[in-house]
Structure 1
Amino acid sequence: MATGIEPASQSGPTGVHDASRAAIPARHLRTDRWWLAPAGTAAGLLAFVVYSTWRAFANADYYHAPYVSPFYSPCLADNCHTMRGGPNWALFGSWWGLSPALLILIFPLGFRLTCYYYRKAYYRGFWASPPACAVAEPHRKYTGETRFPLILQNVHRYFFYFAVLVAGILTYDTVLTFRDDHYRWGHMGLGSLIFLANIGLIWAYTLSCHSCRHIVGGRLRHFSKHPVRYRLWGWVSKLNARHMLLAWSSLISVALADFYVFLLASGAFEDPRFF
């Protein structure tokens, strides 16, 4: 499968050894541990992929009243059992026999996979394209995102709308955590705070997206004629400056929220209730 990145050819000098390069024997002149950043990025992303894959296919321990794992919400099939008074949308009915999480994760996964920051992260961490600044990539040539499958990165702007929808549903789930086991309002547990922090980070990451910034303030000739959009664009731009931090923070928080529900559902301990 073509990736737009081709391995170095053995037929002649290419890439860092191309004839157009300055006559420097070393592949680069960096003396610091430049490899730590791409190695750490690859390790972090790989850890999340392994964990989320396990949880997505587990099809168990994803609900403990009043918490439902963000990996499994919303429930779109009959085999998604949350026992919350019938909130399942059951759009896929009873014929869906696999884990219901597989119906949901494609949308946040597609949004993150095509995210501008995550592209940089896994291009460098996994494909070494390039591995770091001032370090040449070990590929014969790079065609950018102009060929399949990398050209599919352009669907990021459309995944943004699905990401907003998913964030809205997770917000609803977060509101429901302020109930007790009998669905009475005015209660709060440790899980409520975890879900609240998670949804805050998810919204911050989603709104810091470059596509969101363009939707809010793009294609305008005069900001002075659109003061409201200009103010919104300013807010989104401030979030956009922290896009990398929010990307990692929300990735960790959604995994922690799921893991907390798993611990409760598996009987590891009971959720501490504050009131």
Structure 2
Amino acid sequence: MATGTEPPHLAPGRGVHDASRAAIAARHLRTDRWWLAPAATAAGLLAFVVYSTWRAFANADYYAAPYVSPFYSPCLAENCVPMKGGPNWEIFGSWWGLSPALLILIFPLGFRLTCYYYRKAYYRGFWASPPACAVAEPHGSYSGETRFPLILQNAHRYFFYTALPVAGILTYDTVLAFRDETYAWGHAGLGTVVFLVNIVLIWAYTLSCHSCRHIVGGRLKHFSKHPVRYRLWTWVGKLNTRHMQLAWASLFSVALADLYVYLLATGAFDDPRIF
């Protein structure tokens, strides 16, 4: 029963502080450093946002033969630097004066922003909704993803369809990474390894997506009648159990691939050759 003298976090309100809920004096009963995980998540995502924003608007140092930054591929405008053998489609012609990265990054970023794991990550890290298990969120009400802008999260399955061709193009770029600076085949440098690791992680993250799991095995009443789809569903399901780790690993690898190309393009060092 409310007496009018309760501390602010116990005053009658909405959500977990509704009058119908038990009034617990402590804000939470956790004794561990529960705030470390959401703080680290927020710091990691913020660092990527800052770095990717800088690189996307830089419009420079994204090609060092034979490597092209994954932030800028495919090139869809005339203001792209010449990339011999690269995916230069120039669909937007000469009227596009901004960085060409802004034309392509919307698709992989949209896929990640609406990803089920990343939702959990930034809901906890930035919005404290809730900040951690068994820790009450500070918001008085919760409408879920039924209103703007969070209702846009439902577009995840459609962003998955756009993420597939992007991954395919990055695979093509990785194949081109087996050329040397004269575009002769049979080369492998440190950049080749960086691109190989990145594309493996990109595909693993993309295929471990919940939407992919639903596409290959959803809406089936009898798995026994669809052995191929059942096999694919179980394989994607195994990847899905590592979706969080793959999300972070691929986020780091794509940034590393871009940074590596940037360092080569600015002359920080030469690509160490393996063979």
Q: Which TM-score band (shorter chain)?
A: over 0.9
1:4: which partner in 2?
A: none
**Residues 131, 86 of structure 1: CA spacing in aligned structure 2 closer, same or farther, 3 A cutoff?**
closer
1:110: which partner in 2?
A: 110
Unaligned stretches of 5+ residues in structure 2? 1-7
**Residue 207 (structure 1) shift:** 0.1
- Report SS of the residue matched to 1:170: helix
1:152: which partner in 2?
A: 152
Output one character per residue of 1:223-243: Cα deviation in whole Å (capped at 9) or x when no partner: 000000000101000000000
> 1:68–1:82: 8 Å Cα contact kept in structure 2?
no
> 1:201–1:249: 8 Å Cα contact kept in structure 2?
yes
How far apart, CA to CA, are the structure 2 residues paired with 1:151 and 1:274?
A: 49
- Report SS of the residue matched to 2:141: strand
1:61: which partner in 2?
A: 61
What amino acid is aligned across from residue 226 of structure 2 in structure 1? H
Counting matched residue pairs gives 267
TM-score (norm 2): 0.94
What amino acid is aligned across from residue 269 of structure 2 in structure 1? F
**Residue 16 (structure 1) shift:** 3.5
How far apart, CA to CA, are the structure 2 residues paired with 1:93 and 1:216?
A: 37
Matched, 1:201 2:198: no
How far apart, CA to CA, are the structure 1 residues paired with 2:141 and 2:86?
A: 54
> 1:209–1:240: 8 Å Cα contact kept in structure 2?
yes
Identity among equivalent positions (%) equals 84
What amino acid is aligned across from residue 228 of structure 1 in structure 2? V
**Residues 92, 71 of structure 1: CA spacing in aligned structure 2 closer, same or farther, 3 A cutoff?**
same
How far apart, CA to CA, are the structure 2 residues paired with 1:87 and 1:122?
A: 33
1:3: which partner in 2?
A: none
Runs of 4+ aligned structure 1 residues displaced above 3 Å come to none
> 1:177–1:192: 8 Å Cα contact kept in structure 2?
yes
2:214: which partner in 1?
A: 214
1:79: which partner in 2?
A: 79
Matched, 1:182 2:182: yes
How far apart, CA to CA, are the structure 2 residues paired with 1:83 and 1:185?
A: 16
Structure 2 counterparts to residues 26-37 of structure 1, below 5 A:
26-37=26-37
Which is bigger in relative contact order (C-alpha 8 A, separation at least 6)?
1
TM-score (norm 1): 0.94
How far apart, CA to CA, are the structure 2 residues paired with 1:167 and 1:106?
A: 14
